[in-house]
Structure 1
Amino acid sequence: MIDIDAFRSISYGLYLVSSRAEEESAGCTVNTFAQVTSDPLQVSVAVNKENHTASIIERSGAYTAVSLAQSASMELIGKFGFFCSRDVDKFEPFSVRTDGFGCPYVAEQAVARFSVKVTDSVDLGTHMLFIGTVVEAEVLSDEEPMTYAYYHAVKGGKTPPKASSFIADRVGGAAVEGDGANSGSGSAASQSDGAGSFSAVDASTAKREGVRYGWRCTVCGHVEEVDELPDDFTCPICGVGKEMFERIEL
């Protein structure tokens, strides 16, 4: 027997991983960056093969990982987590620096950054596991680092189905949310968490006196605190249209 809830006890951080090869830069949001040895200082990260970032890391042989601060905006997390680097310049309009390998990294809303030389990689089927040696490390702020639990419970964040630890409700069954945050296509999955005390309501429900309404994105969890969404509305975090929003009581 596999109790899916057991996997929710595994702790994660939240990171931006980025790299550059030739004239291409790419990056994505992950929760899989981890230290694996202390002497030498080695780390690993798992990235979905369909993410452009994985191919750029393979070509460059190096990457940077930025540990996000609790204050990091959903706009930053969402841009790196729900869009493709082939289509969008994810680094604009954020403050960006370059490490010794020439890899760009976001230097704001972050606690620390690590520059890694890839020494080995393992094909995990859906993901590539990149193992490497840390050659640069720098503290960027004295803020508290964001955990993945904080991203869900406080930020109201969602998980793309391409995440490393995304787990089906039943083995071989319907997909529901596990934990993980690699960049995805923005396609909706059946997900159980969301924005804390918000509750979904039918769009046709009559307004009750004193009750405030809003709309929540079922893909990334973003909430628009308005009575109605325009027909051409798109989510500022993950880019999906109005049809992917559900009406909620605030």
Structure 2
Amino acid sequence: MDIKAFFKLSYGLYIVSSSYKSNQSGCVVNTLSQVTADPPKFSVTISKNSFTKKIIEKSGYFTATVLTKKATMDLIGEFGFKSSESTDKFLKFNTKLDENNIKYVTNHMASRYSFKVIDSLDLETHIMFIGKVLEAEILNNDDVMTYSYYHNVIKGSTPKNAPSYQKEPAKKGYICTVCGYFLDSDKIPDDFICPICKQGTDKFKKI
């Protein structure tokens, strides 16, 4: 099975966030999808291991923003490969609050949506939330980032918690022990910096 065939599906990349009491949480997903138009409802699937999933369950609300092609690897790395339980992911970026006081990033986002959870489905490793749209807004008209663009142009990797994660066949090179970025090279330069999580060579191991 060639798992790269899944990258041809027309997913987008999104940041889903939620808030409960003093906790503001967010993560990158590629599973946001409109399921009905009238009334407008969306679905999103998030790993049971995700701190954001826990916050959504507690609050009953979430927001989502659509990444554009101008979104930086620093932004994707922060929300895709770190945990909101121990990191303030929003600190380095421009943010606003929706009507439920949930933070959302405005840097390089095409649009944003706010939702009330009206149903959920247990998918063993993940939870699918069904959200009724409360707010929707266009933020800019830049081209949106697709999952295919993320993999084929930016050369990004997929976090293990992502619904689309697939274990790839063994390969040789260097892997970042922080975010999983793979460098296909016989030798790693001394000054190499991970394009996703910005770690140095001391965080890479040879495989």
Q: TM-score range by the shorter chain?
A: 0.7 to 0.9
2:119 aligned with 1:120, yes or no?
yes
Match for 1:238: what amino acid? C
C-alpha distance in structure 1 between counterparts of 2:199 and 2:92, whole Å: 20
**Residue 149 of structure 2: aligned partner:** 150
Q: Among 189, 196, 200, which residue is 1:237 paired with?
A: 196
RMSD: 2.6
2:5 aligned with 1:11, yes or no?
no
C-alpha distance in structure 2 between counterparts of 1:100 and 1:133, whole Å: 14
Q: Which runs of 5+ in 1 are unaligned?
A: 177-184, 204-214, 216-226
C-alpha distance in structure 2 between counterparts of 1:8 and 1:51, whole Å: 22
C-alpha distance in structure 2 between counterparts of 1:64 and 1:130, whole Å: 12
Instruction: Describe how 1:167-246 pairs up with structure 2 within 5 A.
Output: 167-168=166-167, 186=178, 188=180, 200-201=185-186, 203=187, 215=188, 227-229=189-191, 235=194, 237-238=196-197, 242-245=201-204
SS in 1 for 2:80: helix
SS in 2 for 1:27: strand
Instruction: Report the count of equivalent residues.
Output: 201
Which piece of structure 1 moves more, 38-47 or 234-243?
Answer: 234-243
Q: CA deviation at 1:245?
A: 3.6
C-alpha distance in structure 1 between counterparts of 2:155 and 2:2, whole Å: 24
Q: Which runs of 5+ in 2 are unaligned?
A: 172-176
**Residue 94 of structure 1: aligned partner:** 93
C-alpha distance in structure 2 between counterparts of 1:239 and 1:200, whole Å: 18
Match for 1:228: what amino acid? D
SS in 2 for 1:71: coil
> In 2 relative to 1, CA 237–5 (structure 1 residues): closer, same or farther, beyond 3 Å?
closer
**Residue 174 of structure 2: aligned partner:** none
SS in 2 for 1:135: strand
C-alpha distance in structure 1 between counterparts of 2:4 and 2:72, whole Å: 28
2:21 aligned with 1:36, yes or no?
no
Q: CA deviation at 1:187?
A: 5.7
1:108-136 deviation line (CA, Å, top 9, x unaligned): 21100000111001111111100011110
**Residue 44 of structure 2: aligned partner:** 45
Instruction: Describe how 1:61-100 pairs up with structure 2 within 5 A.
Output: 61-100=60-99
CA contact (8 A) 1:20 1:103 kept: yes
Q: CA deviation at 1:10?
A: 2.0
Q: TM-score, normalised by structure 1?
A: 0.72
SS in 2 for 1:165: coil
Q: CA deviation at 1:57?
A: 0.5
> In 2 relative to 1, CA 92–35 (structure 1 residues): closer, same or farther, beyond 3 Å?
same
Q: Whose RCO is larger (CA < 8 A, sep 6+)?
A: 2
CA contact (8 A) 1:97 1:107 kept: yes
Which piece of structure 1 moves more, 160-169 or 10-19?
Answer: 160-169
Match for 1:67: what amino acid? V
Q: CA deviation at 1:107?
A: 1.2
Q: CA deviation at 1:241?
A: 5.6
CA contact (8 A) 1:46 1:129 kept: yes
Q: Which has more radius of gyration? A: 1
